[in-house]
Amino acid sequence: MEVASVRTGRPHVAVLGPDAAAAARALPEDAVVERPADLDELDTGLVEGRVDCVVTTGGPPAPAAVLERVRTTDADLPIVFAPPEPAPTTAATLAGDASIRYLPRELEQLPGDDVEVPDDGVEVPTLATVVTEAVETYDRRRQAAVERGLFETVMQLAPLAIYVKDAAGRHLAASSLAARAVEGQVVGRTDLDLFGPEDPTEGPVPPSYADDVTVLATGEDVEDTEERVELEGGAELWLRTSKRPITEDDGNVIGLLGVTHDVTPEKRQEQELRRESRRLEQFASFASHDLRNPLTVAKGNLELAAETGDPDHLEAAAEAIDRMEALIDDLLEIARPDEEREEEWVALEGVLERAWAAVETDDATLDVDLPPDLEVRATTGALRQLLENVLSNAVEHGGGRDDGVSIEVDATETGFSVADDGPGIPEPDREAVFEYGYTTGGSGIGLAIVAEIAEAHGWEPRIRESASGGTRLEIDRCLLRRAQAPDPVEGDPIDLGEWHTVGELAVEGGAERTGEGAWTIRGGGRSLWEGIEEYAALLAGHDGGVRVEARITGVESVHEYAKAGLLVADAPEPGRPLAFCGKTAEHGTEAAWRDEGGGTVDTHQAEPDAALPRYYRIDRLGDLVTMWASADGDDWRMVDRNALPLSGSVAVGLLVCSHVVGEASEATFEDVRVVSLSAPE
């Protein structure tokens, strides 16, 4: 590694002792000479870092005292003991220090004078030569120390996996991030040892080891190779690596330098663009499918009106055109980005009634078991379109009996379901039914439209078997509320105070109480996302229902996804069910959750442009966790709701995550409240 030299200009030499003036005349011509009056004045120069060498010609001050004072500040600063006459006894007391040079000589002899050569032929060095060599040696030591320090800092804090390997592919050094990526010791082991099969003769060679062999054998770079890694729980991680050979002056390869970084966000964006392209294609099919029916009705009635002159046909055509216009509005609403979609609280039963009236039901029957005040956060027209397609699909594919299909609609904790008593859908086909083109005799679009609308709202559709053996379509992860239900009842306050770090944090941070209900928290951690779980939190344990609420007034932006917020977790340990709601530094409100032990953490940005200060709240009642956000602490917006397999006792409190290895992000919380919570009677 090559860094800028620590040498900054001419060497500074401090000269002490009774013959200091003569010694100063014998120093190198470019030297800047200082004449400290005593050890305290010398100490000032040492502390300020402007002295590169000390020359002492003998006491006072005593050379031993000079040595002690210098070594208090700098263990390597060169000292030259240059008495006007030999002083072996004093020199012997200084001999244990490797950075001291002993040069007895007549100091009046200047560098330009003739130098006497003893009979043994060995030239006596001048003071100028000794000082120059001492300063150069000192510079090299300082340079090496700077490079070592820089290397260690980079290896400790770099948000990349950096490693150096020898000619056999063994690790000589690895950054903290690289070392944490594997279990056990890294140095001295190859990638074949770390990632290969237990028996090297079986199984494929790890791609990273194959790249090492290529670089070491050919002396050529390997640039931007990509590798997909499947994490525990099924999440995927994409890594991009570049490797460069390390060579001697003669070109002989003696090792390699490698850099690997996580490009998962880039890959996810690429995948999202591909999904969006496919979504647009599907959307075109969606639009043409749902617009074709009213268009056909309008066209047919206009033809009948022209043939018969009956105005009733014109009225029917006008109704079909109105229906088509409403569908166009709904389609445009679905196509809008999430942040532009106009969602509202909609009475689910009322929309269901209108959807059922629009479906050709034949002999089908509908049984609705919904609380009359149950509301769902949705775009009204899109929700109606979803229900129409679900009901039509049930009627079309669930019939075949003399008495027609029976359909039941029920509410769940986090959504609703539509079940029929038809023939059902085989388990292997239950995901495929949501794909465009899948059909068992229909258009191949109905349930694909359902999935499209559900995804646009952030809902999760799934197929199960109904109680009668037919099809049960569940729409999960909806935001539901009972319009007339009383609020939960707050109970006793709960004190925060347990500091926890989850994952291997390079910095731990800490929490400081700054006032009543006010905290400043500093925490590190790479992320709370998918297979990564590293954060710091101030928590309390509580058995039963609980509410945590706070006003976040600041999040230090060490990274755009640095975050601060509220946490409810089964336990402050990796892999446990949890719910988080809070503020990212630059991407607004974020909700995160893990709904099963050992699974990955899902996230979504609920309010992309949320500005601070912002209030957040999480309510836990049983296994149901509801997350809220508010601009003023009075008008609350439901952000997310999940049914999580929480144990009786949970960890609840404040969380901070910097998203940068080796750095902490500071967040400020005010109006912090943690109280027990119970369902209304």
Rounded CA gap, 14 and 16, in Å?
Answer: 7
Q: Dmax of the chain from CA atoms?
A: 138
Quote the DSSP letter at residue 427: G
Among 371-375, 405-409, 598-602, 619-623, which is the least confidently predicted range? 598-602
How large is the average pLDDT for residues 344-369? 91
Report pLDDT for 305. Answer: 86
Rounded CA gap, 406 and 34, in Å?
Answer: 101
Pairing verdict, β 344-347 and 480-482? unpaired
12-148 with 489-678: one CATH topology?
no
The token duo for 47 is 């502390």
Could you tell me if 66 and 74 are in contact, meaning their C-beta atoms sit under 8 angstroms apart? no
Q: Residue length, the chain?
A: 681
Return the CATH fold of 161-262.
Answer: Beta-Lactamase (3.30.450)
Q: Is the pLDDT of residue 339 over 60?
A: no
CA distances from 488 to 485, 542, 619, 625 (A): 9, 17, 9, 13
Categorize the per-residue pLDDT at 326 as very low, low, confident or very high, splitting at 50, 70 and 90. Answer: low
Q: Is the pLDDT of residue 440 over 90?
A: no
Report pLDDT for 112. Answer: 42
Quote the DSSP letter at residue 432: G
Q: CB under 8 Å to 257, separation ≥6 — which residues? A: 162, 163, 164, 243, 244, 246
Helices (H), 221-365: 264-308, 311-335, 348-357
How large is the average pLDDT for residues 253-262? 88
Categorize the per-residue pLDDT at 443 as very low, low, confident or very high, splitting at 50, 70 and 90. Answer: very low
Q: Fill in the amino acid letter for 512.
A: E
pLDDT tens per residue, range 102-157: 988 654 444 444 444 455 555 667 888 899 999 988 888 888 877 777 777 676 66
Which superfamily, per CATH, for 272-482?
A: Histidine kinase-like ATPase, C-terminal domain (3.30.565.10)
Kindly report whether the global pTM for this prediction surpasses the value 0.75. Answer: no
Report pLDDT for 106. Answer: 58
Among 198-202, 211-215, 350-354, 544-548, which is the least confidently predicted range? 198-202
Which has more confidence, 293 or 29? 29
Q: Is the pLDDT of residue 268 over 50?
A: yes
pLDDT tens per residue, range 526-571: 889 888 899 999 999 999 999 999 999 999 998 889 999 999 999 9
Q: What is the mean pLDDT of the chain?
A: 85
Categorize the per-residue pLDDT at 416 as very low, low, confident or very high, splitting at 50, 70 and 90. Answer: very high
Report pLDDT for 444. Answer: 47
Q: Is the pLDDT of residue 521 over 50?
A: yes
Q: What are phi and psi of 281, to 5 degrees?
A: -65, -45
Among 147-151, 303-307, 345-349, which is the least confidently predicted range? 147-151
Rounded CA gap, 681 and 207, in Å?
Answer: 61
Rounded CA gap, 154 and 158, in Å?
Answer: 5
Categorize the per-residue pLDDT at 93 as very low, low, confident or very high, splitting at 50, 70 and 90. Answer: confident
Which residues partner with 461 through β-bridges?
A: 475
Domain boundaries, the chain: 12-148, 161-262, 272-482, 489-678
Q: Is the pLDDT of residue 436 over 70?
A: no
pLDDT tens per residue, range 649-678: 999 999 999 988 778 999 999 999 999 999
Look at residue 159 and give its three-state secondary structure: coil
Categorize the per-residue pLDDT at 460 as very low, low, confident or very high, splitting at 50, 70 and 90. Answer: very high
Report pLDDT for 289. Answer: 65
Report pLDDT for 355. Answer: 92
Categorize the per-residue pLDDT at 410 as very low, low, confident or very high, splitting at 50, 70 and 90. Answer: very high
Which has more confidence, 375 or 262? 375
pLDDT tens per residue, range 462-494: 999 999 999 999 999 999 999 988 999 999 999
CATH annotation of 12-148: 3.40.50.2300
pLDDT tens per residue, range 594-643: 988 878 899 988 888 899 999 999 999 999 999 999 999 999 999 999 99
Report pLDDT for 4. Answer: 41
Report pLDDT for 433. Answer: 86
Helices (H), 163-206: 176-180, 191-195
Between the ranges 189-198, 264-273, 400-409, 553-562, where is the mean pLDDT highest? 553-562
Statement: 489-678 belongs to CATH 3.30.70.20: no
Categorize the per-residue pLDDT at 592 as very low, low, confident or very high, splitting at 50, 70 and 90. Answer: very high
